[in-house]
Amino acid sequence: MPANSAARQAQVGARAADRLGKRPVLENAATVPEANTPPTLPELESALARLTEARYGAAADPSEAQALAAEAGDVDYLLTRIRCLEAALALASDDVSWIAPSGRSTPAQSLQRIKAQCALFPELFNAMFAVAATHQSVSREMLALAIKQFRRDTDNLGKDDLVSLLVSIANGGNQAFEAVLRTRKGADRKAAALPWGQDRD
């Protein structure tokens, strides 16, 4: 770490420690919503932003602020940060809007999901199919680079090869779908009952 950066971190840490020494350890009334009312993610993020501004305003980024908080033993900041992460995970577990064609995710979020999908499916076709189906708003070129990063069985394939495979999955699937649909149009077929029941909503 450069000397000037280390010195700046030391100064910020000293100021944070000084502030911590002049105020109570817990500031629930001022920073975090009441415990009997589960706070929302925006509320927690707002509380964390206020703590960051008040105590680590000179930090270059959130990761530096977090490191300084850990160094200073800032319990308020670290607990609020943990609660933010827990709320984000809880929200993400129920949120599937990112799959929609209009869904938008950060590059980091997309990479995390693609990495998980590449690990879940042993067969390359299934992994690429899942990635392509759930990341329609991401360009095929970017998907190809991400897949190549997380799949060892693509080492002998270039980015253009993977883009072509993604195109073939999309086109081939659509053509097969349309072909089957054409043969079934007008046919008097009884709808099969879903094995898990029917959705009446």
Is the CB of residue 81 less than 8 Å from the CB of residue 66? yes
What are the tens digits of pLDDT across the range 61-112?
A: 888 888 898 988 999 899 998 988 888 777 666 667 677 777 677 888 889 8
Is the CB of residue 75 less than 8 Å from the CB of residue 83? no
Report the 3 state secondary structure along 120-176: HCCCHHHHHHHHHHHCCCCCHHHHHHHHHHHCHHHCCCCHHHHHHHHHHHHHHHHHH
Is the CB of residue 135 less than 8 Å from the CB of residue 114? yes
**Which of the two residues, 41 and 7, has the higher pLDDT score?**
41
CA angle at residue 57 from 53 to 62, to 5 degrees? 85
What phi, psi does 103 have (nearest 5°)? -65, 145
Is the CB of residue 147 less than 8 Å from the CB of residue 118? yes
The pair of structure tokens assigned to 34 is 């009441």
pLDDT at 53 over 80: yes
pLDDT at 130 over 90: yes
Structural domain boundaries in the chain: 3-94, 101-184
Question: How much is the mean pLDDT over the chain?
Answer: 78
